[in-house]
Structure 1
Amino acid sequence: MVRDICRDVLFLGKKSEPATSKDIQIARDLLDTLAANSDSCVGMAANMIGVNKRIIVVNMGLMNMIMFNPVIVKKSGAFNTEEGCLSLVGTRRTTRYKEIEVEFEDMSFNKRKQKFTGWTAQIIQHECDHLEGIII
């Protein structure tokens, strides 16, 4: 189900709660909402649809990837950039990393660890900031 985009900075500024297998429908809603906004959005966190859970979806070109409870465990290659967000007006400067390693759970709640680089790494970092209540 496509959900409305949350623009409440007080809600977006809250740290998200851990996701469980009971939150699968939220992940599906995130996928639907990202698809509906694909012309202007490449990733989403659950708080962007008004749900305070640690779930993100990231566009990886040919597919969208869901991550439950993602944690960035390694990062390298810092660079400065400017990003926009579907939940906020305008763009903001931030520091990102060219390479990251993320621990997360997949749709079956199997633990995974994966490395990401470039644009995909940047999207994941932005969405993980959402989970921490960091508004960028």
Structure 2
Amino acid sequence: MATILPVAQLGEEILALVAAPVTESEFASEWLEILSQSMQATMLLRNGVGIAAPQIYVSKRLIIVASRPNLRYPDAPNMDAIVMINPEITKRSIQMVLGEEGCLSVPDERGQVARADQISVQYFTLAGEKIYQDFSGFPARIVQHEIDHLDGILFVERI
């Protein structure tokens, strides 16, 4: 059952930590499934396009990327939500693009952040299947923003 979770805010210690990897024994667990459902429900309620586990006080390497037009990002492209466990960027384009970002953990600030326009990502599904996927444009920006959370970095540190 998905629960709406509290979101850690700028200045809280959990947002500065490097998150621990999800272990093999945690794949396909009820705990991980419920966590991802609650993260997605929390993100949707707050008009987010992505969320990282540290934002909901769980220091684990799990993110959800879910670009879609909403009040905060009216021009965002539509894509199905992707749960990424232990994501790693394996390749970045040399071309960087400035784009506006906001964050559920920094609700009243937005800013221009330079990010790679195209990235390749390796991650695992909830069931533990390894996936390789390429992203470009706004979805690539979301992935980079959320992976920053796993490394204890907030977008305001990149402005």
* TM value normalised by structure 2: 0.78
**Secondary structure of the structure 2 residue equivalent to 1:17:** coil
Shift of residue 103 of structure 1?
0.3
113, 120, 123: which is aligned to 2:139? 120
Counterparts of residues 49-64 of structure 1 (less than 5 Å): 49-60=56-67, 61-64=78-81
CA distance in 1, matches of 2:61, 2:116: 21
Residue 16 (1) aligns with residue 35 (2): no
Question: In structure 2, what is the equivalent of residue 87 of structure 1?
Answer: 105
Structure 1 segments (4+ residues) deviating >4 Å: none
For residue 33 of structure 1, what is the amino acid of its counterpart?
Answer: T
Q: What is the TM-score with the length of structure 1 in the denominator?
A: 0.90
Q: Structure 1 pair 132/80, CA: closer, same or farther in 2 (3 Å)?
A: same
Identical-pair percentage: 32
Return the structure number with greater strand share. 1
Residue type of the alignment partner of 1:2: I
SS of 1:107's equivalent in the other structure is coil
**2:36 maps to which residue?**
27
Does residue 73 (structure 1) correspond to residue 75 (structure 2)? The answer is: no
Q: Distance in 2 between matches of 1:92 and 1:134?
A: 15
The verdict on how the C-alpha distance between 1:8 and 1:81 changes in structure 2, with shifts beyond 3 A counting, is closer
Query: Residue 32 of structure 1: SS of its match in structure 2?
Result: helix
How far is 1:84 from its partner? 1.3
Q: Which residues of structure 2 form unaligned runs of 5+?
A: 68-77
CA-based RMSD? 1.5
**How many residues are aligned here?**
134
Choose 1 or 2 for highest CA Rg: 2
Aligned-partner Cα distance in 1 for 2:19–2:81: 21
Looking at structure 1, the residues matched to 60 and 120 of structure 2 have their Cα atoms a distance apart, in angstroms, of: 21
> Which amino acid letter does the alignment assign opposite residue 33 of structure 2?
I
